[in-house]
Amino acid sequence: MTPLHILKEKFGYSSFRLEQEAIINSVLQKKDTFALMPTGGGKSLCYQIPALVFDGLTVVISPLIALMKDQVDALRVNGIAAAFLNSTQSYQEQNEILKKVQAKELKLLYLAPESNFIKQLSSYNVSLIAIDEAHCISHWGHDFRPEYLNLAHLKKSLPSVPVIALTATADKLTRKDIVEKLELNNPSTFISSFNRGNIRYTVVPKRNSFDKILDFIEKRKDESGIIYCLSRASTERLAEDLKNEGFHALPYHAGLEKEIRAKHQELFLRDEVKIMVATIAFGMGIDKSNVRYVVHTDLPKNIESYYQETGRAGRDGLDSEALLLYSFADVMKMKRFVTVDGNTEQTEVFLKKLDQMAEYGDLPTCRRKFLLNYFDEATTNYCGNCDVCLTRIELTDGTLLAQKVLSAVSRLQERFGAGYVIDFLRGSNSAKIQEEHKQLKTFGIGADVSKEEWNNIIRDLLAQGYLVKSEGMYPVLQLTEKSTAVLKGLEKVMITKSKEITEVAEPEANYEQTLLQQLKDIRRKIANEENVPAYIVLSDATLLELATYLPHNKEEFLKISGFGQVKIEKYGKQFWDVVAAYCREHNLKSRINLKTPKRIRRERPERETDTKQKSFEFFKLGHSIAEIAERRNLSSSTIESHLAFYVQQGTLLLNEVIDASKISSIQQAIEKTGGNALAPIKELLGDSYSYGEIRMVMAHLEKVRSLQ
């Protein structure tokens, strides 16, 4: 059978993802192979499929004993002979497995890196060794495990057996270290894109955290999620608080007793508890495919960890969320945690990584781009699936609001900072507000606007020069010349209003909600009978396809992703019965002909008018062309061409965009050269004039001409 056959028959998937096929081919040629692929990318198949092609045994080294059972169960439900061997098993159990190995009844055997059995491998017919989470062997990685050093001499004792090393996170240094430590022989290396297109990245300010978390999970009541906290105590506290609000949440951290930890994990894997509130001790190697969200209530120490932790969401490819609660105070706090006593060199590395994490939190540009660039991967400026890309700023008339702020500043005699001014505007009862101020007419005139909105408005007014901030330890807000015109009602003020774009851009096929629930029920029943987590029976993605395409016969079932031969034989009928009964009752036909190969989220290109408009809005807020270019990660000449559009439309006046003194000489040069090409005009004008400026004047002339 070819790898593709095996993929279809045994695993029920119709096509390979990313570099899977190339990796498998390399392994099948018995080459040492190094595969770097994001979490959820599908690394397991890269050794599982070769394991089925090779005659002998494939040994898989996996770091966590607790999770081997799951991986083995997942293979077994697909009818693949696999087992694990570890210290949690009784002597008798271990013996039985060994017998099976000797009788060549197993295709895959999972071992922990500390296993004694590794030393004996040379006396068995081993075809392939797979080293999962291979970055654990490197000091340079963020997750070094000394047990992994036991693997260093594997190649020496088994020189002819190919080794595949797999990991989801490794920078260049770590990569090199892995190859060296494992003594891989000129390995074929495959690096897949790290983009996890189905994960939406969002950052919100860390204020009123508990309310924000409640809001977030309220909307996702039926979904599984992980909430990461920094300290053990806070996982327990938050889990308790969530429980009091009626959510089914449990804590997980390394300080809990072993049995309790195992139980909590088990309940989560089996969908009996939806929310795991955990320290980072939770998650490595967790293959639960239907984790719909990962929330970080505290700042992670570095981008590697953040990327890996968020990567635990959405392994099944369905839309998922990564939410970070971010504050500058956290950055300061984390500095203590990344300091390694007596090792300044290491501390510096960690501090730099922390800085990059903070940069991510503050990012004005696409978050996905930042993450991918961090891993040396180039991408577009706009992903369409992070909070930055999904937030559009709009300008609205904010004259009245501006007048309120400015008159408050004036009444307070320009002696207070933004915090005080806002409390004053909102009519706060706080003792901080001086009694005499409470008597002023302006006190409380802005009670209907939230603190956060006032903050944004003041930020806008500062950016546009309607206010300035004094220097010093306690900066106060002060008026400017421009303020007077506004207060007198002579000038209009535009302010930004951020707008979340909430509509889903891509229409999804409709699915039958009630049917999906029925399918989940039957899945749970089967899972309980088989004593495995539900997602191992069938993934959420598979159930969603069933409830969408309503397959009516075996042939149609085989078109559903995730239904391999064995699963069809084993469970097909039970699911078929449910689908058929539902369709009869509601008089529905099969929709299998609507099914196209699994949707891969494409990056949506930014619409041209949107991008122009964004530049325009920033410009109206008082940012220079260079600043906008920097902020939007575009070139200055692109920004100039955006603005030229508005000049041509007449929305921007020429003297708003370029130095008024330059206008007439540019105009003359255009006339002299005939005005058809830019280069001769530029030549005539020399270096103190830019192409952008020339373009603006040309746009202006264009407008004048169109009016004549």
Burial class (CB in 10 A: 0-12, 13-18, 19+), 332: exposed
Q: Which residue has the tokens 């891989």?
A: 184
Report the Cα 686 to chain-centroid distance in Å.
47
Instruction: Report the helix count and the strand count for the chain, using DSSP H and E.
Output: 33, 17
Q: Which does 37 bind (CB under 5 to 8 A by kind): ligand ADP, Mg ion, none?
A: ligand ADP
Of 289 and 548, nearer to ligand ADP (C-beta) is: 289
Nearest alpha carbon to residue 705 among 629, 658, 650: 650
Residue nearest to ligand ADP (CB): 42
- Assign residue 248 a region (left: φ > 0; alpha: ψ between -120 and 50; beta: otherwise): beta
Q: Which does 294 bind (CB under 5 to 8 A by kind): ligand ADP, Mg ion, none?
A: none
Q: Which does 41 bind (CB under 5 to 8 A by kind): Mg ion, ligand ADP, none?
A: ligand ADP
Of 560 and 698, nearer to ligand ADP (C-beta) is: 560
To the nearest whole angstrom, how small is the minimum distance from the Cβ of residue 306 to ligand ADP? Answer: 16
Nearest alpha carbon to residue 26 among 3, 10, 56, 5: 3
Q: Which does 315 bind (CB under 5 to 8 A by kind): Mg ion, ligand ADP, none?
A: ligand ADP
Of 43 and 700, nearer to Mg ion (C-beta) is: 43
Of 287 and 640, nearer to ligand ADP (C-beta) is: 287
Is the separation of the CB atoms in 478 and 468 below 8 Å?
yes
Of 43 and 145, nearer to Mg ion (C-beta) is: 43
- List, in order, residues 6 or more apart from 604 with CB less than 8 Å away: 382, 384, 505
Is the separation of the CB atoms in 187 and 34 below 8 Å?
yes
Residue nearest to Mg ion (CB): 43
How many Å from the N-terminal Cα to the C-terminal Cα in the chain?
A: 75
To the nearest whole angstrom, how small is the minimum distance from the Cβ of residue 113 to ligand ADP? Answer: 17
Of 315 and 523, nearer to ligand ADP (C-beta) is: 315
Of 26 and 496, nearer to ligand ADP (C-beta) is: 26
Nearest alpha carbon to residue 185 among 147, 156, 145, 148: 156
To the nearest whole angstrom, how small is the minimum distance from the Cβ of residue 527 to ligand ADP? Answer: 15
> What does DSSP assign to residue 509?
P
To the nearest whole angstrom, how small is the minimum distance from the Cβ of residue 132 to ligand ADP? Answer: 7
Under the rule (CB under 5 A), what is the footprint of Mg ion?
Answer: 43
Is the separation of the CB atoms in 403 and 486 below 8 Å?
yes
To the nearest whole angstrom, how small is the minimum distance from the Cβ of residue 43 to Mg ion? Answer: 5
To the nearest whole angstrom, how small is the minimum distance from the Cβ of residue 178 to ligand ADP? Answer: 16
DSSP secondary structure, 512-545, as one string: -HHHHHHHHHHHHHHHHHHTS-HHHHS-HHHHHH
To the nearest whole angstrom, how small is the minimum distance from the Cβ of residue 41 to Mg ion? Answer: 9
Under the rule (CB under 6 A), what is the footprint of ligand ADP?
Answer: 13, 16-17, 20, 37, 39-45, 287, 289, 315-316, 539, 561
Q: Which does 289 bind (CB under 5 to 8 A by kind): Mg ion, ligand ADP, none?
A: ligand ADP
Burial class (CB in 10 A: 0-12, 13-18, 19+), 553: exposed
Q: Which does 45 bind (CB under 5 to 8 A by kind): ligand ADP, Mg ion, none?
A: ligand ADP
To the nearest whole angstrom, how small is the minimum distance from the Cβ of residue 146 to ligand ADP? Answer: 23
Of 283 and 551, nearer to Mg ion (C-beta) is: 283
